[in-house]
Amino acid sequence: MRLFRKSGDKVELLALSWDSDLSLGDYLVVEESDRKILLQVIDVEYADVPGLMEDILRDLSSGSVEVTERLDPIEIESVVRSIRDSRVVVAKVRRVNGVDPNRLWLPSRYASRVRRVEVSDLLRTVIPPPKVPVRVGEGVVIDATSVEGSVTLIVGRKESGKSHLAKVLSSELARAGCNVVVLDVNGEYVSLGRRRDGEPSHVSDLMTVLAPGVNFQVPLASMSDEVLADVMTYALGLPQTSLRELLRLVRDLRRRRALTFPNLMRAVQSVPMNESVRDAVANRLLTLESTGIFTDSDQEELEVDLTSLFPPDRGALVVFDMSRLGSIQRRVFVEFLLSRMKELLFNDEIDPIVLFAEEAHLYLRETYWEDVITRMRHIGISTVLITNQPDSIPALIYRQADNVFMFNIRNGSDIEHLARNLEIDPETLRSILPNLPPGNVLAWGKAVGRLPITFRVIDPGTMTLGTTRTKLGRLLRQS
C-alpha cells in the first residue's frame, strides 16, 4: 500500500487488489524514519487509474513484475489486471507520533512504509498494562478499573450482540472482584450460572438470582423513611404535602412497632387530614402493597439482606429478574433498590456497585440520568446502560460517557444522534456502524485508549440465551 492523498484528517491509500485484504476499522501505521501516523480504515473503493495514480502503482508493482517475468510470463497479465483492479483505501488519521504538532508534515508517498497493526498490539501501546485484565475479544484485554467508577453505554439494534457483551462484562467484572447488579428486564441473565453443556459456569459461585415479589421481598417496617419517601415520590408521584402526612403516620406506627399495611391504611382513613391528601396517600399505599414486593410479616425466608449479597472479600453477580414485573412494579422496585443501595453505600455498609441496566428508559425516572453522571458515581454506583434506542439516552450522558460500545446500527437518525454527541467523527460512524456483523463492536473510550476500535466479542460458552422464547424454538431443541 502507498499513501496517495490527504485532505483534512482523511487519507487515501492505493493498494493492489492482493494487499487490500482489509476490514473496516483496521488500523494502519504509515512510517517514515521515526515519524509515524496512525490511520484507521473506514472505506475501500475502486481506484480510477489516470496518470499520477498509474505512476505510483507502477512503482509499487515493479518488484513483483521482475519476479513474475522470470518465473511465469503469463503472470504479467495478472499484474496489469491487478493495477487496473487496484483499490483506494480511505482512512482517518487517529494519531501522529514523533512530529512537532506545529510543523506541517506529510509522509513521503514513495519513501514511507505502510503496515497493518493488530488491535491487540495497538491496545498495548495506547493503554497502560491492565491492573485488572478483562478479556472481551480475541486479543482484546481491557482494564476492569476503566469500567468500575465510569459511565459505560452499550448501544446497537436488536440481536446485534449488546446483551451478549453485557453478560461477558458483568461476569468478568464479578470474577475480577466487583459488586455487580443486573436489572434484567427479560430474564435472560438468569442462566449465566450454567454453561451451554449444563455444567456450572465460572460465575455460578458468585451469582444470586432474585425475583422481586417471588424470592425477594422487603418488610415494610424495615424501610427507612428516606427510602419510602424516594419510592413514594419518584416511582408513584406522591406530592410533597401528602408525603409529609404519610411519613408522620409511618413514624408514629414505627414508634409503636406496629408498622403494617393494614395499620397504616387504618391510620390514613381515620386521622383528620385534607380529603385530597387522604385520597392521594391511600391510593399510593394500595399500589405499593399490590406490587407484592413489600410485606407486613417478617417472613425471614423471603427477606434478603442486601448487605449479605455483597461480601467484602470477593466479587458478586446479583441478577434481579424483573421479567415478571409489570411497569409500575418495575418502577417501584428499581426506585426501592437504588435508594436502598445509596443508603448502604452512604453508610459504608457495602462496597461500590456496578449497575447493568437494560432498556433503562422503561423504568428509570427522567431525573435519574443527571444523577447517574453527577451524584451516583461519587456515591459508588457506576452504570452500564444498554439500549437499542440510542436516542432514549440523553445527550448529556453521551457527552459524559467514559466508554461507548456500539454494535450494528442501520438507522440513519440513530447514527446521527451518536455522531452529534460523541467525540468520533461522523464519517467513521456512518461507514462502520451499518456494516458491523452481529457480535462485532466498535468500542471507544477510556477502556480502549480513546481510539475507536472494532473487534468481535468473545463467546465464553456460558448459556447466554437470547431474549426471544418461542414454542418452535423449544420443539426444535428437543428434536
Ligand X SMILES: Nc1ncnc2c1ncn2[C@@H]1O[C@H](COP(=O)(O)OP(=O)(O)O)[C@@H](O)[C@H]1O
Q: What is the DSSP letter of 95?
A: E
- 164 is in the binding site of which of ligand X, Mg ion, none (Cβ under 5 to 8 A by kind)? ligand X
CB of 172 to ligand X, least distance (A): 14
CB of 232 to ligand X, least distance (A): 33
Q: Which three three-digit cell numbers place residue 35?
A: 515519524
Of 88, 182, 433, 457, the residue at the interface with ligand X (CB under 6 A) is 457
CB of 196 to Mg ion, least distance (A): 18
Binding piece for ligand X, criterion CB under 6 A, among 155-163, 205-213, 268-276, 287-295: 155-163
Amino acid at 51: G
Burial of 458 from C-beta contacts in 10 A (0-12 / 13-18 / 19+): middle
Interhelix angle 261-270/240-255, rounded to 10 degrees, is 120
Q: Does residue 201 touch ligand X according to CB under 6 A?
A: no
Q: Which of residues 56-85 bind ligand X (CB under 6 A)?
A: none
Of 437, 466, 469, 474, the residue at the interface with ligand X (CB under 6 A) is 466
Beta pairing, strands 133-137 & 113-117:
unpaired
Q: Which three three-digit cell numbers place residue 298?
A: 417478617
Question: What sign for the dihedral angle of Cα 112, 116, 160, 395?
Answer: negative
Q: Does residue 161 touch ligand X according to CB under 6 A?
A: yes
179: nearest Cα among 432, 351, 435? 351
CB of 312 to ligand X, least distance (A): 32
Beta pairing, strands 10-15 & 2-7:
antiparallel
Site string for ligand X, 11-40 (x = CB under 6 A): ------------------------------
Task: Cite the DSSP H helix spans in 96-150.
Answer: 119-126
Angstrom distance (rounded) from CA 157 to CA 386: 11
Specify the residue, 136 or 364, whose C-beta has the smaller distance to ligand X: 136
Sheet arrangement for strand 2-7? 2-7, 10-15, 87-97, 35-46, 27-32, 113-117
Burial of 478 from C-beta contacts in 10 A (0-12 / 13-18 / 19+): exposed
Q: Does residue 163 touch ligand X according to CB under 6 A?
A: yes
Specify the residue, 193 or 380, whose C-beta has the smaller distance to ligand X: 193
CB of 362 to ligand X, least distance (A): 15
Q: Does residue 408 touch ligand X according to CB under 6 A?
A: no
Angstrom distance (rounded) from CA 122 to CA 158: 30
Q: Which of residues 164-193 bind ligand X (CB under 6 A)?
A: 164
Q: Which of residues 316-335 bind ligand X (CB under 6 A)?
A: none
Q: How many CA atoms lie within 13 A of 163 on its CB side?
A: 23
CB of 454 to ligand X, least distance (A): 13
Task: Cite the DSSP H helix spans in 72-118.
Answer: 75-84
Specify the residue, 117 or 463, whose C-beta has the smaller distance to ligand X: 463
Angstrom distance (rounded) from CA 1 to CA 348: 58
Specify the residue, 113 or 158, whose C-beta has the smaller distance to ligand X: 158
- 459 is in the binding site of which of Mg ion, ligand X, none (Cβ under 5 to 8 A by kind)? ligand X
CB of 340 to ligand X, least distance (A): 28
Residue nearest to Mg ion (CB): 163
CB of 306 to ligand X, least distance (A): 27
Q: Which residues bind to Mg ion, rule: CB under 5 A?
A: 163
CB of 469 to ligand X, least distance (A): 12
Q: Which three three-digit cell numbers place residue 109?
A: 508517498
Q: Does residue 138 touch ligand X according to CB under 6 A?
A: no
Specify the residue, 120 or 467, whose C-beta has the smaller distance to ligand X: 467
Q: How far is CA 347 from CA 180, 306, 351, 415, in A?
A: 19, 13, 10, 42
Specify the residue, 89 or 404, whose C-beta has the smaller distance to ligand X: 404
Q: Which of residues 434-453 bind ligand X (CB under 6 A)?
A: 438-439
Angstrom distance (rounded) from CA 259 to CA 1: 76
Binding residues for ligand X, rule: CB under 6 A, are 156, 158-164, 438-439, 456-457, 459, 464, 466-467
